Amino acid sequence: MIEFKLDSTTGMPFYRQIIDQIKFGIASGNLKIGEQLPTVRSLAVDLKVNLNTVAKAYKELEIQNVLETQQGTGTFIFKTDIQVSEKEKNNKLKEICTQFSTIALSYGFTIDNIIDELKKQKI
C-alpha cells in the first residue's frame, strides 16, 4: 500500500494528485493487481478532504479501467500494466524539482550546492 499525501501548494487539484499517486504506485510496482485501496470515506478522512474529491479520483480511474469497485467489498487495483508516458514523467520531475529547489533556495542554498548534494546521493 502507498501512503497518500496531498500538497496544497502545487496548484494541482487534490483529486488529480490522488490519481497520479495511484498510477505511479502501480507503475512502480508498489500497488499490485487485486490490492484493495482505502474506502472513499476513510481516505477522505485521512487526507482531510471532501468525500467527493476521493470519489472523483476513484471514478476517473474506474472509467480508465485502472480500478474496480465491488459493491459492498471495496475498491481494488484492476490492472497493473500502467505505462507512464515520458511526457508525464518529465512533467512530474519538473514539478518535484520546482518544489525542491524553491525550498532549498529559501534556505539560502545555491543551485551548485543542490547539484553537489544530489551527486553525493547513493540512490
Domains of the chain in sequence order: 14-77 (1.10.10.10), 86-120 (no CATH)
Q: Is the pTM of this model over 0.85?
A: no
CA dist., res. 109 & res. 102, Å (int): 10
**C-alpha to C-alpha distance for 4 and 52, rounded to whole angstroms:** 16
Which residue, chain included where needed, has cell 482531510? 48
Q: What is the chain's mean pLDDT, rounded?
A: 90
Helices (H), 39-110: 40-47, 51-63, 86-106
**Cα separation of 19 and 22, whole Å?**
5
The whole-number average pLDDT for the span 32-53 is 96
Contact criterion met (CB below 8 Å) for 80 and 33 = yes
